[in-house]
């Protein structure tokens, strides 16, 4: 979601801004723009669509030492050039990520003072308000001006600012939206995340809420409450910043394949240290929160923790949890799951549960992200940078951590032996490869042209199907619905006929006969069935039950969900590819959702 880049330094800002914007593309956007100083004037160039469209309009021969850039994911106002950033009012030009909640009130005040507006955005109002404070301040003291703005603005914002009369300074301020400052040699970058400049600098600063940054080519000042503060300098970990697509046509496919080698990495990191992971059985209540794929990982976590830990676990969607009545206290553990570590809804839940003195544990991929910094304890999922919007390896990394937390308890409750557990996890990479290399051609031909696909399963398989259904929706734009197979007869079966299709997962052994009965009810109505089930059942499941089948290797229940999701990722990928979709950057979606 909206990406910000800013550059001040000895080199030409124009290619730096474009390169930075391209690195932020994965966040999701629908228009892009830059503003830069050229011969003491500010030039603004914007374009709807991809960054390539913006690039075509830029004359890279022009030299500039200071500029800002933006990828916009529309919130207020349609996807038009007029609404895209940068916005300019009076002497001020800005790019913004977040939502200014009181922009309507501020707009009225500013209109009374003579300001007029060209766009439908909250950002233009923020820009006008900064200009208003700027005009009021005789010395143009930017630290005071921006402090006044922050005291007036309600909502979330990371803002980068250039000022017509100050061609040698770049300004930033932030609250509840991420912003980082990269320190190079005679050049300073600002961006929504470090991937935008990770190969250009060795140190960076994470701007905290209500802080202002005043940057020149080789100096930075961080100001909080009117006072200068010495920020913590962090070192870039280049190992985690590789976003090379290698030989793969899409990042998503690369990331699906990577899952097998990642398991080996996680095995070295966690498998030999299971007992060092937190013992979560000491809490009276466990809540798990997340959004999208992270929520689904939390649901799998619930089944595993309940099974192996004998503890009740409840899972919540963060955007709901943040407003619902809570019955939690210091005996509650809230487990927060997030790939990006920046999801606004999830972040807001942490602030809320801390007011109840509940304990927090993060299962987070992005190190030093806002969520990672907000929770009491964090377990990093070590999936590496995930570029494709549709999450794959980050999801399996979250399942891996949940399985570890669960079997840590299972070692005591279920008499699991370490040798047995280790053997299972060591087999997993090879099993993943086997599943990836199965033949999905017939299945893709059967499915790709449907407008609706049902995803069915029971118990933990149902949760896996929720994730499979989300993958399909995200990248192929086919409508799909996941449903517990046993629930079909209470309504949805009325939709089933010769024109419908269902993918059914049956890997929870004691429930397979039940799911097969549900399949037969669908077959009787002409529905096409793709069955995903265990490879030890090849002789016992009648051929009449399915039109296509994928046999998944049977493994221990605590790792089976990791294996089970692989065919669903591939099915979604293959269908989206056959339909010619933009797989890595699906329309309307953002990788990092920093607004509510
Ligand atoms: C967005 C992404 C999803 C992701 C969700 C939660 O919607 O497109 O892929 O699952 O946010 O993101 P998080 O970074 O908190 O895991």
Residue matched to tokens 């100001």: 223
Q: Is the CB of 369 under 6 A from ligand 1?
A: no
Give the CA angle between residues 575, 465, 476 to the nearest 5°.
Answer: 25
What is the distance between the alpha carbons of residues 217 and 204, in angstroms, rounded to a whole number?
15
The reported pLDDT for the residue numbered 36 is 98
Q: Is the CB of 381 under 6 A from ligand 1?
A: no
- Looking only at the bridges linking them, the beta strands covering 92-100 and 220-224 are unpaired
Residue pLDDT, tens place only, 374-415: 999 999 999 999 999 999 999 999 999 999 999 999 988 877
What is the distance between the alpha carbons of residues 307 and 523, in angstroms, rounded to a whole number?
33
Q: Is the CB of 591 under 6 A from ligand 1?
A: yes
pTM reported for the whole predicted model: 0.91
Q: Which atom of ligand 1 is nearest to the CA of 28?
A: 8
Residue nearest to atom 3 of ligand 1 (CA): 292
Residue pLDDT, tens place only, 550-583: 999 999 999 999 999 999 999 999 999 999 999 9
Q: Which residues contact 582 (CB under 8 A, 6 or more apart)?
A: none
- What is the share, in percent, of the chain residues with pLDDT greater than 70? 99
Residue matched to tokens 């991809």: 50
The reported pLDDT for the residue numbered 26 is 87
The reported pLDDT for the residue numbered 320 is 97
Residue nearest to atom 8 of ligand 1 (CA): 591
Q: Is the CB of 533 under 6 A from ligand 1?
A: no
Region 185-194 average pLDDT: 96
Residue pLDDT, tens place only, 304-363: 999 999 999 999 999 999 999 999 999 999 999 999 999 999 999 999 999 999 999 999
Q: 3-state class of 283 per DSSP?
A: coil
Q: Which residues contact 114 (CB under 8 A, 6 or more apart)?
A: none
Residue pLDDT, tens place only, 193-230: 999 999 999 999 999 999 999 999 999 999 999 999 99
Residue pLDDT, tens place only, 449-495: 999 999 999 999 999 999 999 999 999 999 999 999 999 999 999 99
Q: Is the CB of 593 under 6 A from ligand 1?
A: yes
Distance 395 CA to ligand 1 centre (A): 10
Distance 361 CA to ligand 1 centre (A): 18
Contact between 97 and 72 under an 8 Å Cβ cutoff? The reply is no
Report whether pLDDT(240) > 80: no
The reported pLDDT for the residue numbered 244 is 77
The reported pLDDT for the residue numbered 243 is 66
What is the distance between the alpha carbons of residues 14 and 36, in angstroms, rounded to a whole number?
8
Q: Which residues contact 401 (CB under 8 A, 6 or more apart)?
A: 270, 363, 379, 381
Distance 314 CA to ligand 1 centre (A): 20
Q: Pick from 278, 444, 285: which is nearest to 377 by CA?
A: 278
Distance 294 CA to ligand 1 centre (A): 7
Pocket-testing residue among 2, 178, 293, 383, ligand 1, by greatest number of atoms within 8 A of Cβ: 293
The reported pLDDT for the residue numbered 242 is 56
373-387 as b/e: b if 16+ CB within 10 A: bbbeebbbbbbbbbb
């Amino acid at each position: 979601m909206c990406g910000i880049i800013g550059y001040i330094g000895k080199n030409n800002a124009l290619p730096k801004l474009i390169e930075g914007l391209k690195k932020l593309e994965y966040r999701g956007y629908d228009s892009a723009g830059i503003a830069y100083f050229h011969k003491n004037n500010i030039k603004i160039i914007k374009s709807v669509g991809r960054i390539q469209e913006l690039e075509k309009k830029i004359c890279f021969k022009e030299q500039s030492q200071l500029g800002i850039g933006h990828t916009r994911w529309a919130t207020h106002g349609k996807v038009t050039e007029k609404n895209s950033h940068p916005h300019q009012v009076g002497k001020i030009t800005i790019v913004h990520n977040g939502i200014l909640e009181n922009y309507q009130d501020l707009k009225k005040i500013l209109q009374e003072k003579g300001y007029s507006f060209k766009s439908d955005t909250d950002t233009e109002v923020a820009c006008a308000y900064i200009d208003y404070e700027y005009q009021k301040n005789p010395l143009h003291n930017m630290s005071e001006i921006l402090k006044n703005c922050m005291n007036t603005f309600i909502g979330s914002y990371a803002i980068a600012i250039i000022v017509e009369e100050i061609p040698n300074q770049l300004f930033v301020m932030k609250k509840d939206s991420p912003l980082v400052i990269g320190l190079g040699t005679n050049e300073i970058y600002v961006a929504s995340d470090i991937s935008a400049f990770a190969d250009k600098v060795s140190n960076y600063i994470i701007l905290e809420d209500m802080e202002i940054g005043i940057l020149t080519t080789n100096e930075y000042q961080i100001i909080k409450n009117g006072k200068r503060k010495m920020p913590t300098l962090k070192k870039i970990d280049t190992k985690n910043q590789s976003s090379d697509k290698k030989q793969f046509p899409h990042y998503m496919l690369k990331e699906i394949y990577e899952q097998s080698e990642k398991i080996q990495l996680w095995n070295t990191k966690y498998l030999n240290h299971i007992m060092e992971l937190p013992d979560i059985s000491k809490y009276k209540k466990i809540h798990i929160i997340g959004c999208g794929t992270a929520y689904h990982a939390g649901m799998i976590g619930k089944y595993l923790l309940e099974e192996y830990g004998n503890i009740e676990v409840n899972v919540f969607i963060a955007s709901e949890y943040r407003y619902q009545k809570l019955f939690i206290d210091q005996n509650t553990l809230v487990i927060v799951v997030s790939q990006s570590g920046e999801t606004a809804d999830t972040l807001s839940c942490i602030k809320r549960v801390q007011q109840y003195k509940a304990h927090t544990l993060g299962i987070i991929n992005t190190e030093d992200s806002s969520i990672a910094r907000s929770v009491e304890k964090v377990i990093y999922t070590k999936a590496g940078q995930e570029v494709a919007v549709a999450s794959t390896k980050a999801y399996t990394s979250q399942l891996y951590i949940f399985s570890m937390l669960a079997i840590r308890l299972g070692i005591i409750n279920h008499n699991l032996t370490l040798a047995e557990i280790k053997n299972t996890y060591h087999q997993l990479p090879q099993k993943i490869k086997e599943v990836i290399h199965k033949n999905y051609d017939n299945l893709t031909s059967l499915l790709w042209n449907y407008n609706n696909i049902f995803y069915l399963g029971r118990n933990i398989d149902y949760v896996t199907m929720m994730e499979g259904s989300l993958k399909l929706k995200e990248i192929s734009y086919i409508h799909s619905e996941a449903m517990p197979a046993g629930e079909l007869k209470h309504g949805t079966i009325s939709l089933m006929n010769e024109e419908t299709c269902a993918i059914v997962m049956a890997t929870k052994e004691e429930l397979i006969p039940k799911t097969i009965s549900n399949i037969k009810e669908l077959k009787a109505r002409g529905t096409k069935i793709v069955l995903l089930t265990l490879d030890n059942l090849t002789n016992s499941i009648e051929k009449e039950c399915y039109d296509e089948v994928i046999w998944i290797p049977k493994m221990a229940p605590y790792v089976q969900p990791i294996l089970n999701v692989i065919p669903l990722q591939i099915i979604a990928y293959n269908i989206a590819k056959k339909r010619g979709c933009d797989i890595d950057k699906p329309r309307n979606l953002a990788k990092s959702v920093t607004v509510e």
